[in-house]
Structure 1
Amino acid sequence: MNGQAQAAAQQDVPSPAEDSAPASAPGVAVRAAGEADVEAAAVLFRGYLDFYEVDIEDPDAPRAFLAERIAKDESLVLLADVPEAGMVGFAQVYRGFSSLSLRTAWVLNDLYVAPEGRRTGAGRALLREVLRRAREAGVSGVQLETAYDNTVAQGLYEAEGFVREEFHVYFHGLG
């Protein structure tokens, strides 16, 4: 989804053991994923890849990708649980740097809520938890991208204070 450089500034993302975040929406529990959560998170990740129509040749690749990110502490993966619906959403954040602010910045690379979890506040809870943790870590800001036609997500992001930038995003695929 995002061609940003994702440098590993390990000290800027709390580990799952440091997770004590309250949910920001009534009834939604948001927590950091650990290695024991890889299988459940991978189901949501596959749903996210399907949403963006990404063809995956190896059906185990999404699980392996998440497992490696979590094991190496290269990303923060958050999970959202909704009563009577279960684990319905996930977000994945990578660390990067902002040359313009001379500080660490976060890239909210992935945010997905499964159809059964939509309109429960899970997406908003995940987004707010990312922002809470970013403030706590002292980063300069959180950047994200979404599809031009994903107006539901755009409405959520703008309602939560994200501002559409006047930059064009370019990407050159290598393979």
Structure 2
Amino acid sequence: MSIRPAITNDISPLLSLVQGYYHDSPVPLTIDESAMAAHLNQLRTDATLGALLVAELDQQLVGFAILYRSFDTRTLKPLLIINDVYVAPKFRRHGLARQLMQAAFQLADERGYAGCSWQTRISNHGA
């Protein structure tokens, strides 16, 4: 299993994971695949927006972390927002989400950010 930045060829399989993410949400959402693909690709290529990490197991994408750049006025440094973390259901409970989170913290450190910020629904007991 590896955690790595997304590449161009990841966008199509990522769309399936994003659909699963929103399908599993308490507030389901049908995504516009074209718009989402464009957004994910932009996030993947423009570090001023944030970053897109993927979890890969046996050459299959099984999870992702969508990260956005923000700013911390206390430290006067950028801050990385961990906006979305998702692992496909059959790959859960093996620490993949934790590894995605750790990779986000490492990325923030490498970029000289103040740190990361993350919030989740109070009903998300698994997190």
Change in 2 beyond 3 A, CA 1:140/1:46? same
Give, in angstroms, the shift of residue 40 of structure 1. Answer: 1.3
Q: Whose strand fraction is larger, Structure 1's or Structure 2's?
A: 2
Equivalent position to 1:44, from 17, 36, 54 = 17
Contact preservation (8 Å) 2:54, 2:100:
yes
Change in 2 beyond 3 A, CA 1:31/1:57? closer
1:16 matched residue in structure 2: none
Moved over 3 A (4+): 57-61
AA at the equivalent of 1:88 = V
AA at the equivalent of 1:76 = A
1:75-111 deviations in whole A, cap 9, x for unaligned? 3111111248x32110011111111221111101110
Give, in angstroms, the shift of residue 36 of structure 1. Answer: 2.0
- Counterparts of 1:148 and 1:35 in 2: how far apart (Å)? 34
- Counterparts of 1:57 and 1:43 in 2: how far apart (Å)? 10
- The number of residue pairs the alignment matches comes to 125
Give, in angstroms, the shift of residue 57 of structure 1. Answer: 5.9
SS in 1 for 2:55: strand
1:119-151 deviations in whole A, cap 9, x for unaligned? 222111111111111122221110011111001
User: Is 2:40 the counterpart of 1:66?
Assistant: yes
Contact preservation (8 Å) 1:38, 1:67:
yes
- Counterparts of 1:96 and 1:50 in 2: how far apart (Å)? 27
1:81 matched residue in structure 2: 56
Identity of aligned residues (%): 30
Equivalent position to 1:141, from 115, 120, 125 = 115
Question: Which of the pair has the greater relative contact order for Cα pairs under 8 Å at 6+ separation?
Answer: 1
1:32-79 deviations in whole A, cap 9, x for unaligned? 002221111111112112222332263444323313322444331111
TM-score, scaled to structure 1: 0.64
- Counterparts of 2:31 and 2:4 in 1: how far apart (Å)? 30
Larger Cα Rg: Structure 1 or Structure 2? Answer: 1
Unaligned ranges ≥5, structure 1: 1-27, 154-175
SS in 2 for 1:135: helix
Change in 2 beyond 3 A, CA 1:102/1:63? same
Contact preservation (8 Å) 2:19, 2:31:
no
TM-score, scaled to structure 2: 0.85
User: Is 2:103 the counterpart of 1:152?
Assistant: no
1:123 matched residue in structure 2: 97
Higher mean C-alpha displacement, 141-150 vs 69-78: 69-78
